Every structure is written in structure tokens, then in C-alpha cells.
Structure 1
Amino acid sequence: MSAYLGRYRGDSRLHTESDLRVFLTWCTDQDLEPLSVARVDIERYVRWLQDVRRLQPSTVSRRLSVVVGFYRVCVIDGILPHSPADYVRRPVVPPESPTLGLGHLQFEALITTARQSANPNDFALIAMLGLLGLRIFEACGANIGDLGEEHGHRVLRVRGKGGKVVLVPLPPAVARAVDRAVDGRLDGPILRNTLGARMDRHAATRRLKHLAASAGIRMPRMHPHISVSRFVSSFWSVPRPSSVPA
């Protein structure tokens, strides 16, 4: 496990470890030794993700990819003669996500509710997801030290997938929301949870669902990145403001 996870770093490592833990926990529940499973066992795991956990095909495919990668490393390191994950059937992932974005009035209601919230992190969260189009881990991972100026414009240094860093210009509305959440602090995370620690993606999801319920928005499978930023891409005609490599 250490050899496999050693290939990753940062959020990628955390997410890969989480997905691998799901598989290993399933093996424990099934009284299976992970290094002795057969292909049919992994087929059963995939079916469990689909029929019991009822996960989306993209999520099932991602978790299966983690299992495939784990056993591939086992073969490379000479722990197993061959991978039991070879030839496991992958779920069909549709080319376009069926998740719908927010409509104009829905997003207006959501951001108004966030602006009026007693929790200053709510407005900053919705502004960073909805108006900047950031991914949930990008918004939660942003620090006060990432704020700055570039050519007279306020910018936010964003760490994206694969460790790529870009400078994203902050529109005035987003800058005000961020300043309200920072509240004069000089360091630490921009978004904080109710305990004052960094807000993680789970806490952000709970806040988004709470705000959606308060705003009277009833949407299935409310998602903190897709449902907000897809609205932005259709309303503002661009998925996110122009960014330049840091």
C-alpha cells in the first residue's frame, strides 16, 4: 500500500487512499485476503458499488482504477505473479454528466441566501465556487497567503489538479466575500468550519446543501462543484475567469 500511495502526493494521495480504503474495508467485510482475491471477487466489488452503494458510473470507474493500479504495483514489485484486476469489466461512463446545473433564479436565490447568512464563510464559499468556478478542493485549499495583486488586479493563487498553480483574477464581488471571510486575519485558510479550522470538502458540501434548502432550492444530488459552476458557464458564457500560470 505504501509503495502504491507513494506514487501520489497532496490531494491526489488523500483521494486515492480513501478509494483504496473502501476496497480494503469491503474485502474485510467479505472475509477476503486482499492479496488472494480473484477476478470474480473484484467483479463482485464493482457490482456492490453499483447496486448497494448506488454510485455513479464515473465514481465506480474511478474506484476501480485505484484497485487496478494497486494490483499493478503488486505485480511490478513481485508480490503477485499477475493482477486479479486484469480483464475486469469497467462500467460505461456517459460522455456527458446527467447532473443539471442551477438556473438563473436558483443561483440568484442561493447567493442571496449566502450573502445574508450569519456565517461569513457561506458567502465566500458560494462566490468562489459559483463566480470563480473553482473546484471544491481548490476553494477549501485556498489560503490567505494566496491572495495578492498582479498588474493592479487582486488575484488568488489556485492550486489545481496535478499541482498546477494559476493566478485567478478576483471580481469585486468575490473579493468582498473573501475579505469578509478573512476578517482581518493575516494567515491560515480562507474558508473555515464552525470550529475555526480549515473547511474540508465534506463541510463545504454540508454548507451548500444547507444554503440550498434555506433558499428553497430542491435539486437531486446537489454537488458543490458541478451544480454551481455549470450554471456559471452557461450564464457568464465562460467556465471561469482568465487565468495565467503563476
Structure 2
Amino acid sequence: MAAFPAPASGVVPTDQLVLCAAASAFLGRYRGRTRVHTESDLRVFLRWCTDQDLDPLAAARVDVERYVRWLQDVRRYQPSTVSRRLSVVVGFYRVCVIDAILDHSPADYVRRPTVPAESPTLGLGHLQFEALITTARLSTNPNDFALVVLLGLLGLRIFEACGASIADLGEEHGHRVLRVGGKGGKVVLVPLPPAVARSIDRAVDDRTSGPILRNTLGGRMDRHAATRRLSTWPKPQGSGCRGCIRTCCATRS
């Protein structure tokens, strides 16, 4: 795992090899985008352990509880995010017990945060979304406008928009389409309205390969970069909260 780089000598300690094997065994249960997201959440925990000078395979229940408090009090994540990331930790340790790497799971009996049955966040109204579209269209970064129309007009999930590549663009029966890989490995062809097609063309420019949406460094934009882009824009007039901008368009998953 990237959170535990190999020493300069090139000799990897045995406990690190065991940890890598345990992480690989856990992630091997997942496929596609689910694996990518699960690996991302696991890396957060392993990186936290590194910062705490803690061996994940020697962690106790109190350490997992400290990790949960860090997610809540320091990173200030929503209860749903904390619960999801704790679920990944629970699953990782469960596999460690199944594979006889650990005698028991330190994540057992760690209390999960209460997740409301209904989201308290309101989406954007019609005029608010028009203001968001206008803001994105005037941006000097063409990826901003493409991001908003892919999410707001085409209705893609955040990982679907960020995972789209130039090679996924095509034509069917005279219509421009985008091949979208959704949950469960399902692939669908989504027709592109003219406004969406134009925004994609601006973002793609003269490139013939690579991602449609790029971050400020020129690499593929991920869901975290997309959320940051949306949350830094001015709040549309009349919106209930700043977070509704990214919730309305960006956090469908």
C-alpha cells in the first residue's frame, strides 16, 4: 500500500508484507469502481495509522475509536461518510480474522455514528442551478463547465463523470453518445444533448486520448477534486447552504 512505502534499502519488513497481503486479500473481494472507492477509504485509515506511528495489525479497539473521532472532529465528515469509512475498517479486520492474521478484530463493538434516514441537505432550485451553470460557463477552466453539465444536465454520478474518457465518446444512429460505466460494472450509452457535447468538446480541445475532465495538474479529475472545484465557487443566491452546490451535483454515488 502507498501509505507504507518500502525502505530506502529496498528490504521490506515482514510485518509490512503481511499488511500488504491482508489489504490485497480484502480488496480482492471488490471489483470496478467499488474497489477503487474501498481502496481509497482503506488508504485513509492506513495513512492515519502511519501518522499516529501505529501498526494497523497491532491496533486496539481504542485506536479505531480514536480514528472515528478524528474523522468526526478533525476532518468534520458527515455521519454517512464516517459510517462508510468505518465499515471499510471493520471489513478489513474481519478478513484479517478470517485469514488467521489476527485472533480478533479491534473494530468489534466500535459504535457507528447515527446516520439520518433522510438527507437534511436541500438541492438547488431552477434559478439556483441556472446561476451555477452561468458561473461554470464563465470560468476560464473549460473543465468546470463540462463538469457541471455532465452532472446537472446529463445526470451522471460523480465517479461516472470523472471516469469518462475521450475513448468513450462515439456515435450511434446519428447521435453523439457517451459510454458510461456505472455501478456493478454496467455500461450504458447516454445520448449527448448539443449543450453537453459542446462543453465536452471545449474540455477535450484537440486531445485524442485521456480523460474528458482534467484537474489543474493535467491529470484525471477525481471525485475529490471535482467536489473542491464546485465548493469554491460563489454560492447561488437563495441557496440554503454552501454545501448544497456540491451535494446537488457532485455527491450522487
TM-score (norm 2): 0.79
- Equivalence for 1:22: 44
3-state secondary structure, aligned to 1:213:
coil
- Equivalence for 1:109: 131
The one-letter code of the counterpart of 1:14 is: V
Shift of 1:9: 4.1
- Equivalence for 1:166: 188
- Equivalence for 1:134: 156
Contact 2:203 2:213 in 1 (8 A): yes
- Equivalence for 1:96: 118
Q: Does 1:182 align with 2:204?
A: yes
Contact 1:192 1:198 in 2 (8 A): yes
For residues 207-246 of structure 1, the aligned pairs below 5 Å read 207-210=229-232, 212-213=233-234, 219-221=241-243, 224=246, 226-228=247-249
Contact 1:20 1:67 in 2 (8 A): yes
Residue segments in structure 2 that go unaligned for 5+ positions in a row: 1-22
The one-letter code of the counterpart of 2:127 is: L
- Equivalence for 2:216: 194
Shift of 1:220: 2.7
Contact 1:113 1:214 in 2 (8 A): no
Change (3 A) 1:202 1:88: closer
The number of residue pairs the alignment matches comes to 229
- Equivalence for 1:81: 103
Distance (Å, rounded) in 2 between the aligned partners of 1:173 and 1:85: 49
- Equivalence for 1:150: 172
Distance (Å, rounded) in 2 between the aligned partners of 1:205 and 1:52: 19
Distance (Å, rounded) in 1 between the aligned partners of 2:71 and 2:225: 24
- Deviation readout 1:78-129 (Å, 9 max, x if unpaired): 1112222223222211112222211222211111122233322222111101
The one-letter code of the counterpart of 1:38 is: A
Distance (Å, rounded) in 2 between the aligned partners of 1:206 and 1:62: 20
Distance (Å, rounded) in 2 between the aligned partners of 1:114 and 1:96: 29
Q: Which moved more, 1:14-23 or 1:163-172?
A: 14-23
Distance (Å, rounded) in 2 between the aligned partners of 1:179 and 1:16: 32
3-state secondary structure, aligned to 2:188:
strand
Percent identity, aligned pairs only?
78
The one-letter code of the counterpart of 2:176 is: R
Q: Does 1:51 align with 2:73?
A: yes
- Equivalence for 1:71: 93
Which of 1, 4, 7 is residue 29 of structure 2 equivalent to?
A: 7
- Deviation readout 1:147-199 (Å, 9 max, x if unpaired): 12223322111112232211112122111211222224322211123343322
Change (3 A) 1:203 1:30: closer
TM-score (norm 1): 0.81
Distance (Å, rounded) in 1 between the aligned partners of 2:68 and 2:236: 37
3-state secondary structure, aligned to 2:234:
helix
- When the two chains are superposed, the root-mean-square deviation of aligned CA atoms in Å is 2.6
